[in-house]
Amino acid sequence: MSTVKKAPLSSGSTDSGNVPPVAPGQEVSDVQYRRFATFIEEKCGIVLGVGKQYLVNSRLSTLLSKFRISNVDELINKAMENTPNNKIQDAVIDAMTTNETLWFRDTYPYTALEQFILPELAKKGKYPVRIWSAACSSGQEPYSIGIVVQEQMAKMIHVDPKQTQIIGTDLSPEMLNTCKLGQYDVHALSRGLSAERKAKFFKPTRNPNIMQIDPRVKSMVEFRPMNLLGSYALMGKFDVIFCRNVLIYFSNDVKADILRKLTMCLNPEGYLILGSTETLVGVADKYEMVRHSPGILYRLKPQKYAF
């Protein structure tokens, strides 16, 4: 489905990471890399492409000691075994889809939410207001949305937090556990969160290096497991969908299918917010572009479309 991302796949973007080099003899072989790329695309829809062995090595090498396996090739073999409750497979998919995120990434989506989208919904008097944060990683995006809604309370026209439903979804069970706990360390809190917001919306814990998201915000967000390749039938309709910095790692056909399903989950005149480099593959005719400097939002046209 949760940002400056530590890895790609169904939750976000990729980098080479600050992971030490894999020991000689442990690296994924070219043949195994091609097999693994096919496997991860079938499971998660992500296209690794040519020359991304470094990414697989850096992500999967951290699991070798955990499972007492000597090299990445063997780890991949065990992950690809079609056996019930394959914990190695779960861990490998989790490692390849885990993301490190920022609070209020890129600023403009949250400014647009605060200054434009929420006031518009408040004037319409539409309740409940439903917002979906797809591929929410460790929860910073949906909690950032909740903070913006809470801050609206000081304004004359505002959306009622008690009638606002924020749904965060992600493929990774480990990330969802982090989301539900709502606790973040000093490093995570330093990434995109102002001192003012930190003081207002976080509470100290017994650990001086960890803070807890305020219950007012935490209670607004529900987290669910979801693979963006699957069915969205149980999600219902939303007024706003955040699906940012996710689509760029899928093939064009998969992008188009995900966007079609997201569009079906939007209320007429609802807003879709993508990453700055992502486009409306296959559904551009169903939206109108709304510029909110320096970014762009997409508003679903009021007509009803057949998909």
Q: Which amino acid is at 205?
A: T
Q: Contact 263/286 with Cβ under 8 angstroms?
A: yes
Domains of the chain: 9-97 (1.10.155.10), 108-300 (3.40.50.150)
Average pLDDT per 10 consecutive residues for the chain, totaling 307 residues: 38 41 72 92 84 89 92 93 89 78 93 95 93 95 98 89 96 90 95 96 96 97 95 96 90 94 97 94 95 90 65
Question: Which of 91, 93, 106, 185 lies closest to 138 in space, CA to CA?
Answer: 185
Return the beta strands (E) in 134-260 as ranges.
164-170, 183-185, 202-204, 210-213, 221-225, 238-243
Query: What per-residue confidence (pLDDT) applies to 222?
Result: 98
Query: What per-residue confidence (pLDDT) applies to 118?
Result: 96
Q: Contact 149/240 with Cβ under 8 angstroms?
A: no
Per the document, the length of the chain is 307
Query: What per-residue confidence (pLDDT) applies to 45?
Result: 80
DSSP, residue by residue, 178-228: HHHHTEEEHHHHTSS--HHHHHHHEEE-SSTTEEEE-HHHHTTEEEEE--T
Question: How far apart are the C-alpha atoms of 249 and 240, rounded to whole Å?
Answer: 22
Query: What per-residue confidence (pLDDT) applies to 12?
Result: 37
Q: Contact 137/8 with Cβ under 8 angstroms?
A: no
Query: What per-residue confidence (pLDDT) applies to 98?
Result: 62
The reported pTM is 0.82
Question: Which of 258, 220, 229 lies closest to 171 in space, CA to CA?
Answer: 229
Residues paired with 273 in a beta bridge: 242
Which are the contacts of 292, defined by CB distance < 8 A and separation ≥ 6?
108, 111, 112, 115, 116
Q: Which amino acid is at 6?
A: K
Distance of CA 83 to the CA centre of its chain: 28
Question: How far apart are the C-alpha atoms of 58 and 17, rounded to whole Å?
Answer: 7
Residues paired with 99 in a beta bridge: none
